[in-house]
Amino acid sequence: MPDPAGAIVDIIIPVYNGMEHVVRCLASLLAARCKTPFRVIVIDDASTDRQLSRVLDRLADQLGFTLLRNEQNRGFVHSANKGMRYSANRDVVLLNSDTEVYNDWLDRLRQAAYLKENIATVTPLTNNGTILSYPCYPEGGPPPPDISARDLDRLAARLFSGHVVEIPTAVGFCMYIRREALRKTGLFNETVFGRGYGEENDFCLRASRLGFVHVAAPFVFVRHDGGASFGEEKKRLIREHLKILNRKYPGYDALIRDFVKRDPLRPCREVLDEARLRRQRRSYNVVLLSHSRGGGTEVAAKKDVLERIKRNEGAFRLLPVPGDKGRTLLRLGHMHTGPMRNLGPFDLQDGGDRRKLASILRELKARELIIHHTIDLGANAPEVLMRFSEEASLPYVFAVHDYLPVCPRVTLTLPKGIYCEDGERLGCHICLWRYGSEFGRPRIERWRKMWKTFLLKAEEVHVPNVDVMRRLEHWFPDVPVSCSPNHPPITGKIRIKNPSKKNAPMRIAVLGAIGYTKGFEVLRRCARFIRKKHLPIELMVIGHTRHDKVLEKLGVTITGPYDDAKLQTLIVQHHPDCIFLPSVWPETYSFTLSHALESGLPIVTFDIGAMATRTRGLEHALHLPLAWRNAPDRILPTVMEWLDDLTSRANALNGKAFSEPAWQKPFSFFRKSLRDVRAADRSYLIFFTPRSGSSYLTELLASTGCFGNPQEWFNPAWMGKVMRNLGAPTLPDYIQALLRLRKTENGVFGAECTIEQIERLGREKDFITFWPKNLTPVLLYRRDILLQAISLYKATETGVFHIRKDGKTPSPPSPEIRSVTYDADRIRHWLLHILHQEERLLRFIKRNKLTPHILDYEQLVTIPPQEVVRTFARWLDIDTNSCKPAIPMHCKVGNEENLIFRDRFKSKEKDFLKRIAKRRMALYRSLGRDLPLSS
């Protein structure tokens, strides 16, 4: 402590018990680095904690502060007055014993006190000080979680140096009082406010009548735990003393209400919020928007945030909060900061709010808006978000978690969870007219048109599995979609339960919160059927349902809501024979299924959506026809028979490893023999779209023996088998195995792949990182996309994709094989399909900063084969002297009919083709290339 002899300020700390707080307060005073000379006066108000008394005696001797004691407990105000009388002629700071001060706090408070002649008191910001509270205004609360109080004080000092705001009254946790004001106003009213709370307000109001003012110093922050000296007595004292203040000073309540309403300190709190957010910036920053309704979407959004933070990205969140008149507002925050209480909330329907939020996001250097859901933002959310994205110059990515873009009822279901099968326009009109939706009864054409525009303007549209991608392509064929699984596939070991008794009932567990779409009606019908037929089956819900009592009356056991972290323990405790997930809508992912897979128990689902897609091919999964959802007489016997069969094979199945059907399998082994095999010196990847001549090109290159064997090594149809044959457990291992075991003698490896194949791997973001740095990318495209679409249409109709030559003699297919009926709609469909692939492929190339060599189909089929080989040799720096002659193994499938179809389509679809040509031109120019195109 400083030498009290030269002090010009006395710091008065009334103390009653609370040793931990007192010690921390004194330690903070000792650690602070103030130039202002001060003396510390501690008044022990007859604390009952004898240990505290001994500690104070010892510290007073060691640190040199003044220790005064009351013989009996007299209350806070008496102790404060005693300290101020003892102080005599100095300025004082009344400091609660449950506060902590930092840095040069006293210098700054004194600076604020003498900015004007008539300032009586100065109060700093704090976490718990009513009208001086930050970040929770005005109720107070804990300090911010993302920054220490010491650093927050330092930040405030830098942001608001010398700035003060006039306030109606000081707040007594830390109150700088100038001696002149104290001399003219007098001490605290000990008679009325003896136990504390209200005494400083009374003092300030008396001083104000004498012409003094009171200021807040936002450039000082003091931590305050609040109420440590008074415990439960605090609420009673506040109520009683507030009544006294209003009697003595009529209009006091209105004065405080007016200050809270005007909130002149809000700009300071906003600046602090923004500064705290800026501390979370990284080199790459995104903003994530989701709903606040829990469930799988919220889990996925939180996991997205965590993964981005692990990658050292700045991941900020826009969180929906209720607003006036039923509108939803958005609160900006970060995982480390929580929602920023003093920014917004923002109404995106309001232009001013949009501009303000956009300005903050620019300060945060946000690069993308990741939209996980829009349901809380109202029916016109897509239009509002497009407007905001444009005004903020912030591209957005949309992650699909359900079918809101297609169905205002979200899940493609009627009431009671009846799946609507196709979602066609007439049926949707009737459904919305009869049953409505959360958004009223919007016209389905306008709804889907709005969402189509929103999806087309998105930088990317992510779906969690192939099933969702196919469904969206049905309704929005023009929208490019990328498939990115939410999480790595589940791996584990099968666990078949051996019944302890021969005739023990079969126990079927249902997991989760079971509403209508999750199969409540299926469960109810099954329970009725079990009771009616006296089947040896026990149904149980590990979780809860929308009507627990209804099912309990039917004999279903219900455990109640659970914590996800404890679910596996619950499953083990209830030891079911299998898990039934009776969801009747096409789920897009299902975290409940992830938990079920983790258990290793047999799983029963309906053959729809992610439930079926994610368990396809697993030996311990059963898929029931969705048409059986109302037929417990089919469901239950089938499940019993299947489980009996599994039980009979339990010895063979138990402990057997399984994995979801995805290629990024996280096994822990890899062929040791490959470590000693040298990888290819040169490698290339041919990116292509369907019917662009890839088969002709790759067979041509393979025939030379110098360019590897550039097959579709990433085609899901055979990739899994090749991985097993090579002993490659993961995608990076697989690529390394190919580079070593599928190269030619001259050390060259080649492969061809489509963007769809890469998307199905779920590795668009890191696929290229697994390849050598000298990888040579090649882009194969077709100038005439219309002929390309016609070729694909005919191939899919006839099943004839390639015709090989018989030795050196061409053997063209017969006209009967090639002839199909002209169908403009199907040609249009395949043209858009190719265009979407081109768009996704070029985005992938641009995102990975690839500079591919470009070859077009028209050039490929007109130049001599040997010239093609020489071109590739130049690109790869390969000596072709030892290469075999290039022999074309394919002949052209197209004929005059293709040209007839092209002319016919062109004559009818001129505007459509112009739009396609414009999109392709912009697409290829984005690569910095002006390529010859036609349609």
Of the listed ranges 41-50, 200-209, 799-808, the one predicted with least confidence = 799-808
Give the number of C-alpha atoms closer than 13 A to the C-alpha of residue 479, restricted to the C-beta side.
32
Residues 716 and 704: their CA atoms lie apart, in Å, by 27
Per-residue pLDDT tens for 40-88?
Answer: 999 999 999 999 999 999 999 999 999 999 999 998 899 999 999 999 8
Average pLDDT over residues 220-238: 74
Task: Provide the 8-state DSSP code for 440.
Answer: B
| In contact, 610 and 403? CB cutoff 8 Å | no
Average pLDDT over residues 462-478: 86
| In contact, 613 and 471? CB cutoff 8 Å | no
Q: Where are the beta strands (DSSP E) in 801-909?
A: 803-804, 853-856, 890-891
CA-nearest of 768, 912, 904, 742 to 844 is 768
Per-residue pLDDT tens for 481-528?
Answer: 877 666 677 888 999 977 555 578 999 999 999 999 999 999 999 999
Average pLDDT over residues 662-682: 54
Name the token pair of 506: 């079969």
Residues 562 and 509: their CA atoms lie apart, in Å, by 14
pLDDT for 323 equals: 82
| In contact, 159 and 219? CB cutoff 8 Å | yes
Residue 871 confidence class, pLDDT cut points 50, 70, 90: very high
Per-residue pLDDT tens for 248-262?
Answer: 999 999 999 999 999
| In contact, 173 and 99? CB cutoff 8 Å | yes
Q: DSSP string spanning 204-240?
A: HHHHHHTT-EEEEEEEEEEEE--STTTTTHHHHHHHH
In this structure, the dihedral spanned by the alpha carbons of residues 625, 594, 597 and 618, taken in order and rounded to 10 degrees, is: 50
| In contact, 277 and 316? CB cutoff 8 Å | yes
Using a 10 angstrom Cβ sphere, with 0-12 exposed, 13-18 middle and 19 or more buried, the burial of residue 704 is buried
Higher pLDDT, 326 or 594: 594
Residue 621 confidence class, pLDDT cut points 50, 70, 90: very high
**Residue 774 three-state SS:** coil
CA-nearest of 557, 518, 287 to 397 is 287
Q: Residue 839: how many CB atoms within 10 A of its CB?
A: 18
R_g (Cα) of the chain, nearest Å? 37
Higher pLDDT, 208 or 762: 208
Residues near 443 by beta carbon (within 8 Å), at least 6 away in sequence: 429
Average pLDDT over residues 611-623: 90
Per-residue pLDDT tens for 377-418?
Answer: 999 999 999 999 999 999 999 999 999 999 999 999 988 888
Strands 537-545 and 557-558: parallel
Residues 457 and 339: their CA atoms lie apart, in Å, by 29
Q: Is the pLDDT of residue 926 over 90?
A: no
Instruction: Record the pTM.
Output: 0.70
Q: What are the phi and psi torsion angles at 825 (to 5°)?
A: -65, -40
Using a 10 angstrom Cβ sphere, with 0-12 exposed, 13-18 middle and 19 or more buried, the burial of residue 422 is exposed
User: What is the number of residues in the chain?
Assistant: 935
CA 736 to each of CA 178, 674, 680, 685, 743: distance values in angstroms, whole numbers, following the listed order: 76, 9, 9, 14, 11
3-state secondary structure 250-268: CCHHHHHHHHHHHCCCHHH
Residue 294 confidence class, pLDDT cut points 50, 70, 90: confident
pLDDT for 807 equals: 39
Higher pLDDT, 81 or 722: 81
pLDDT for 716 equals: 78
User: What is the residue type of 623?
Assistant: H
Residues near 242 by beta carbon (within 8 Å), at least 6 away in sequence: 198, 253
pLDDT for 274 equals: 98
- The pLDDT > 70 percentage for the chain reads 91
Using a 10 angstrom Cβ sphere, with 0-12 exposed, 13-18 middle and 19 or more buried, the burial of residue 387 is middle
Residues 24 and 222: their CA atoms lie apart, in Å, by 13
Residues 901 and 316: their CA atoms lie apart, in Å, by 52
Task: Provide the 8-state DSSP code for 448.
Answer: H
Helix (H) or strand (E) holding 397: strand 396-399
Of the listed ranges 347-361, 756-770, 873-887, the one predicted with least confidence = 756-770
Largest interatomic CA distance in the chain:
118
Q: DSSP string spanning 545-566?
A: ETTHHHHHHTT-EE-----GGG
CA-nearest of 564, 503, 563 to 537 is 503
480 cis-preceded (ω within 30 degrees of 0)? no
Residue 204 confidence class, pLDDT cut points 50, 70, 90: very high
- Residue 539 bridge partners (DSSP): 508
